């Protein structure tokens, strides 16, 4: 089971920054999850929101700002919003990258940057948007479809997008979202060629249930907590 640090170790460092990714690696994360968007001049920038006021000292939007303008911003604790190539340089050799594509044009830009860096594995490209997943899958990287709905045909949705991983974003779907899962359900999805990734979870009581499930990975803002729960479950 893979520990996937959601936007890095975002419970401890500003999310989607090099500091958050470095902290995640030090806490035992196997993969880091990050979000990518395009700047106005075509650079892939790591950020969950297009709204600069959401997590930086800036105003306006990433999509209407140049890279030079974005580099002048503080994303928290003196960290600037990193570019995807910077993450490939600093993080990828030591940790897998689980990349959420947030807008049109990001699949092509991500594949461009991956080719330029010579990266061929250790990367998953995913999105809530099935069209972006289809575009990302054309280069042979594993892809993930993110789904927040609980009342859909999960396998059909993922297969329609050409995804090999199904990412269930059910952290708010029920008071105890582990009750929405069963080993039988997950095994059936695996038999249909799908690996499952679970939502970001920081409640220890929930994690103790999730680590017993046959899944590819679990996201969390607290990779140290998930590592501890996994270690205790194995002992």
Per-domain residue ranges for the chain?
2-234
pTM, rounded to two decimals: 0.97
Q: Which CATH number fits domain 2-234: 3.30.300.210, 3.30.300.30, 1.10.3720.10, 3.20.20.190?
A: 3.20.20.190
Structure letter (DSSP) for residue 79: P
SS3 163: coil
Q: Give the span between the Cα atoms of 212 and 216, in whole angstroms.
A: 12
Please list, in sequence order, all residues whose beta carbon lies within 8 angstroms of the beta carbon of residue 99, skipping any fewer than 6 positions away: 33, 34, 35, 36, 84, 110, 123, 124, 125, 126
How much is the pLDDT for 235?
A: 84
What sign for the dihedral angle of Cα 206, 209, 211, 213?
negative
How much is the pLDDT for 85?
A: 98
How much is the pLDDT for 153?
A: 96
How much is the pLDDT for 171?
A: 97
Residue of 136, 210, 215 whose CA lies nearest to 226: 210
Helix axes 154-161, 183-191, angle to 10 degrees: 30
Residue of 183, 193, 181 whose CA lies nearest to 143: 193
Please list, in sequence order, all residues whose beta carbon lies within 8 angstroms of the beta carbon of residue 44, skipping any fewer than 6 positions away: 36, 37, 38, 83, 84, 85, 106, 109, 110, 113
Q: Give the span between the Cα atoms of 33 and 25, in whole angstroms.
A: 12
pLDDT digits 0-9 by tens, 90-101: 999 999 999 999
Low-confidence ranges of the chain (pLDDT < 50): none
SS3 184: helix
SS3 223: helix
pLDDT digits 0-9 by tens, 132-143: 999 999 888 999
């Amino acid at each position: 089971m893979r520990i996937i640090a959601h936007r890095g170790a975002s419970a401890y460092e500003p999310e989607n920054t090099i500091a958050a990714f470095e902290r995640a690696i030090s806490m035992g994360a196997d993969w880091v999850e990050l979000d990518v968007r395009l700047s106005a001049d075509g650079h892939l920038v790591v950020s969950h929101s297009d709204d600069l006021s959401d997590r930086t000292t800036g105003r306006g939007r990433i999509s209407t700002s140049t890279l030079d303008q974005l580099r002048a911003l503080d994303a928290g604790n003196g960290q600037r919003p990193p570019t995807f190539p910077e993450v490939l340089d600093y993080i990828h050799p030591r940790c897998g990258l689980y990349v959420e594509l947030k807008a049109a044009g990001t699949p092509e830009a991500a594949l461009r940057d991956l080719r330029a860096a010579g990266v061929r594995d250790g990367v998953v490209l995913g999105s809530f948007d099935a069209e972006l997943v289809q575009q990302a899958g054309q280069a042979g990287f594993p892809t993930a479809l993110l789904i927040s709905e609980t009342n859909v045909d999960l396998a059909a949705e993922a297969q329609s997008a050409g995804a090999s991983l199904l990412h269930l974003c059910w952290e708010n779907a029920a008071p105890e979202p582990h009750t929405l899962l069963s080993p039988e359900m997950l095994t059936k999805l695996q038999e249909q060629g799908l690996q499952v990734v679970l939502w970001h979870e920081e409640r220890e009581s929930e994690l103790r249930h999730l680590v017993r499930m046959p899944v590819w990975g679990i996201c969390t803002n607290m990779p140290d907590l998930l590592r501890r729960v996994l270690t205790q479950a194995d002992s």
